[in-house]
Amino acid sequence: MGRFAARVGSTLGLVIGIALVLPAAVAAHTLNPTYESRLPLAVYLVGAAVTVALSFAFVIVRDVRATPPVLDQVGTLPPAWLRYLLRTIGLVGWLWIIAQGIAGGSSDADVSSLFLWVYGWVGLAIVCAIVGPAWHFIDPFSTLHDLAAAGLRAARVQGWAIADYPERLGRWPATIGFAFFVWLELVVMGGPSTLFIVVVGYTVFTLAMMAQFGRDEWRSHGETFTVWFRLLGRLAYFRLVDEDGRVHSRTFGSGLLEPGWTAADVTLAAFGVSSIIFDGLSQTEVFFDLFGAPGVAIRTLLLAAWLGIVVGLAFAVARTVGLGAIGAGLIPIALGYLVAHYMTYLLIDGQRIIIAISDPFQKGWDIFGTAFFSPTGAWLPAGLVWTIQLAAVVGGHMLGAWGGHVVAAADAPRGISAHDLRFRQLPLAVVMVSLTTLTLWSLGQAIVVAPTSGSTDASPVAATVAVPAAPGD
Amino acid sequence: MVRHMTRRIVVLFTAASMAILLVPGLVSAHSELVSSSPTSGATVPSPYSGPIVLTFSEHLATGSKADLVDSTGATVASAVVDPDAKTMTITPTTPLPAGDYQVKWVSIADDGDVLRQPIVSFTVAPAASPSPSATAAASTAPSASAAPTTAPTAAPTPAPSPAPDTSGSGGDVVLPIIVALIVLGAGAAYLLTRRNRPTDTT
């Protein structure tokens, strides 16, 4: 009975804590200066920490378990029309970026930032994490590879022999590439000309690696977007069964329990979480007070230091609970932060496609009469935004706590006592509590500085802050 | 072999990073709207014949243009662009009848940067009163600068449009709390009432 009372107490505490904390926290996530926290910062920070801690206490005390999923399904291919539609969208998007890059210039019709950051980095990540492996088909690099291979075959050109992919390299190339893109996003904040060069360079590099090691080997180990989206896809409703694109439905989130976590995966997950937190931290007043508006070199060092700290923490935790537990804990949090932090960016800045179709090459055209369209968030009801973001934060955290605990329990040495099992998970709980509290704090701070931060910075990420406050807000 | 490969990839991405920093044009040279006459949001007395003058911050490249459109979207007149004076001037051939008007402009800077916001809107007041009112007269005074939209960077600039109530009402706060309570209560009840799985770890 005592345990039952403790469970009821912890559950109630959890519910009350979240109810107290999240309206303010979620308001903070909108990154909109017109949203205001209704609670003093200290109250919501303490509440956040208590909430996260209690939720962990809940799954640990309750000792929730789950059976790892069986992975013997054959799967089915998505309909041919859908596969070709997605491939066409990916290829057209890539060609559009290239065409604009060749034409030069910049404007609100720029598709390099729209496709790379808004639809790709944010939109596709969310789709791949929730629905399934859309990127597997959209991926323009694979489509280009297939087209080039078909062309060479038709021309009877003999390609060179495919080399064996070094197994020990694992998915580290993709993780290194992820760090590069995070740096591009959060430090360089380059305009269309920079993004054009990156897209061209990355395409050449990817096609060369596909030619060297084989398309499927490289995309599943070295191609950053594929590896990152597949890692997030451990959550998704549809699991990618094979490289041909067969999928199979499953319970949402159950992929976290699948084996196969590597050090590169955990590093990638830690990069994913910490980069979003860095984005938030770098917009706080405290950050500006400490570092001002740092140049590229200082900002690079700050980013590297922060990513290093979080990766170090993740591996420190992994020493006691295993790589799988920290990975399973971080991935849902990454998705939650992604949705909460960037949802309004996706919904508002994503509207620029309406401008782009009227001025596809940034020449000042107005083909369909929509070039003067002004993206707006006026149609977004504040309550709905808050509710969705609340669900993202709460859901991401709860799923992370559950996944981390279940995998830690499954990976624990046989014969370990229940007490020891709980004790081993404390570092995991502490890290997750710390990261969540820090994130909520930074996002709470963003409310204070958002009106000024947006105008001091020309980055796509700055647009994340500024856009919700754009016309109509 | 593997170490060499990893090192190569790190070196490659580092070299690419260095190269990107050398890419010119990280800071775009927008030709921003500095001022307009009439100012955006102004009301001018009827009849109004202009001229409507837009002044920009940079030299205007070929392709820069401005159109005066009425409330139906029809183009009433187009601007004469003076690239060196950094101005676009619209002189209607006939006085504008009362109504709402917009000046849709596109500025193209020498490096190809295209701008077209914010749209300048103004109203030509109906000539109902035989003697112009003081208000109307005042609104035709020499225009001050345009709306404060000349952000120093490419960051999207908030336009001075009416702000919707995004701060939310009390109901906006209560709703998420209720939803959270229901969802969490249901989840907690499920987990608490579910039978424990037998474990083999103890």
Mean pLDDT is highest, among A22-26, A146-150, B93-97, for A146-150
A227 has pLDDT over 70:
yes
User: Which candidate from A22, A108, A383 shows the least CB-CB separation from B172?
Assistant: A383
Q: Which residues of A touch B192 (CB under 8 A)?
A: 7-8, 11, 62
Question: Is B19 touching A (CB cutoff 8 A)?
Answer: yes
Percent of chain B with pLDDT over 70: 57
B12·A205 Cβ contact <8 A: yes
B168·A371 Cβ contact <8 A: no
B77 has pLDDT over 90:
no
DSSP B96: B
Q: Which residues of B touch A470 (CB under 8 A)?
A: 156-159
Question: Is A101 touching B (CB cutoff 8 A)?
Answer: no
Across A43-48, average pLDDT = 63
Measure Cα distances from A34 to A5, A25, A286, A302, A454 in Å: 42, 14, 21, 30, 14
| Angstrom distance (rounded) from CA A355 to CA A366 | 8
Give A381 or A8, the one with higher predicted confidence: A381
Specify whether the CB–CB gap between B159 and B117 falls below 8 A: yes
| Angstrom distance (rounded) from CA A255 to CA A468 | 34
Write out residues 198-237 of A within 8 Å (CB-CB) of B.
198, 201, 205, 222
If you count residue pairs, one on A and one on B, with CB atoms under 8 Å apart, how many are there? 228
pLDDT at position B152: 35
Task: Provide the pairing of β-strand B87-90 with B52-56.
Answer: antiparallel
Q: Which residues of A touch B6 (CB under 8 A)?
A: 169, 172-173
Give A226 or A156, the one with higher predicted confidence: A226
Report residue A458's pLDDT band, with 50, 70 and 90 as the boundaries: very low
B104 has pLDDT over 70:
yes
User: What residue type is A142 in one-letter code?
Assistant: S
Give A449 or A11, the one with higher predicted confidence: A11
pLDDT digits (tens, 9 = 90+) for A362-377: 998 999 989 999 999 8
Report residue A457's pLDDT band, with 50, 70 and 90 as the boundaries: very low
A471·B168 Cβ contact <8 A: no
Report residue A94's pLDDT band, with 50, 70 and 90 as the boundaries: very high
Number of H helices, E strands in chain A: 20, 2
Distance from CA of B188 to the nearest CA of A (A): 6
B116·A454 Cβ contact <8 A: no
pLDDT at position A349: 93
User: What residue type is A159 in one-letter code?
Assistant: G
Within 13 Å of residue A48, how many CA atoms lie on the same side as its CB?
A: 30
DSSP letters of B49-94?
---EEEEESSPPPTT-EEEEEETTS-EEEEPEEETTTTEEEE--SS
Can you say whether the dihedral through the CA atoms of A279, A472, B90, B71 is positive or negative? positive
Cα angle, residue A343 at apex, residues A231 and A436 outer, rounded to 5°: 65
Can you say whether the dihedral through the CA atoms of A129, A132, A135, A136 is positive or negative? positive
pLDDT at position B194: 58
Distance from CA of B23 to the nearest CA of A (A): 6
Distance of CA B155 to the CA centre of its chain: 9
Specify whether the CB–CB gap between A93 and A115 falls below 8 A: yes
Cα angle, residue A209 at apex, residues A207 and A214 outer, rounded to 5°: 95
In A372-454, at which residue ranges do the beta strands (DSSP E only) sit? Answer: none
Distance from CA of B184 to the nearest CA of A (A): 6
Within 13 Å of residue A69, how many CA atoms lie on the same side as its CB?
A: 22
A124 contact partners, CB below 8 Å, separation of at least 6: A134, A135, A138, A225, A229
Q: Which residues of A touch B157 (CB under 8 A)?
A: 455, 466, 470
Question: Is A304 touching B (CB cutoff 8 A)?
Answer: no
Q: Minimum mean pLDDT among A309-313, A390-394, B169-173: which range?
A: B169-173
A20 has pLDDT over 60:
no
Measure Cα distances from A297 to A183, A198, A351, A458, B22 in Å: 11, 19, 33, 17, 13
A418·B202 Cβ contact <8 A: yes
B171 has pLDDT over 70:
no
Partners of B43 in the beta sheet? Answer: B123
Can you say whether the dihedral through the CA atoms of A412, A416, A422, A423 is positive or negative? negative
B166·A382 Cβ contact <8 A: yes
- Nearest Cα to Cα of residue A280 among A437, A169, A154, A133: A437
Specify whether the CB–CB gap between A400 and A332 falls below 8 A: yes
Mutation site for B-interface testing, chosen from A15, A393, A402 by largest number of B Cβ within 10 Å: A15
Report residue A42's pLDDT band, with 50, 70 and 90 as the boundaries: low
B25 contact partners, CB below 8 Å, separation of at least 6: A191, A193, A194, B111
Question: Is B134 touching A (CB cutoff 8 A)?
Answer: no
A110 has pLDDT over 70:
yes
DSSP A76: B
Question: Is B186 touching A (CB cutoff 8 A)?
Answer: no
Mean pLDDT is highest, among A328-332, A389-393, A452-456, for A328-332
Question: Is B108 touching A (CB cutoff 8 A)?
Answer: yes
B114·A463 Cβ contact <8 A: no
| Angstrom distance (rounded) from CA A204 to CA B185 | 52
pLDDT at position A93: 96
A455·B16 Cβ contact <8 A: no
Mean pLDDT is highest, among A64-68, A224-228, B38-42, for A224-228
pLDDT at position B26: 47
Mutation site for B-interface testing, chosen from A455, A459, A461, A467 by largest number of B Cβ within 10 Å: A455
Q: Which residues of A touch B2 (CB under 8 A)?
A: 166, 168-169
Task: Provide the pairing of β-strand B120-125 with B42-45.
Answer: parallel
User: Which candidate from A107, A387, A472 shows the least CB-CB separation from B161?
Assistant: A472
| Angstrom distance (rounded) from CA A444 to CA A461 | 17
pLDDT at position A335: 94
pLDDT at position A32: 36
User: What residue type is A134 in one-letter code?
Assistant: A
Residue A161 burial (10 A CB sphere; 0-12, 13-18, 19+): exposed
Distance from CA of A418 to the nearest CA of B (A): 6
pLDDT at position B169: 44
- Nearest Cα to Cα of residue A439 among A313, A309, A299, A337: A337
Q: Which residue has the tokens 């003999």?
A: A158
Mutation site for B-interface testing, chosen from A59, A358, A387 by largest number of B Cβ within 10 Å: A387
Across A400-424, average pLDDT = 83
Q: Where are the alpha helices (DSSP H) in B1-157?
A: 2-21, 134-139
pLDDT at position A132: 95
SS3 A190: coil
Crossing angle of helices A224-232 and A323-349, in 10° steps, is 100
Report residue A190's pLDDT band, with 50, 70 and 90 as the boundaries: confident
Distance from CA of B96 to the nearest CA of A (A): 23
Instruction: Please state the pTM of the whole predicted model.
Output: 0.78
Question: Is A288 touching B (CB cutoff 8 A)?
Answer: no
| Angstrom distance (rounded) from CA A104 to CA B133 | 50
pLDDT at position B176: 57
Specify whether the CB–CB gap between A16 and A23 falls below 8 A: no
The ipTM assigned to this model is 0.71
B175·A177 Cβ contact <8 A: no
Percent of chain A with pLDDT over 90: 50
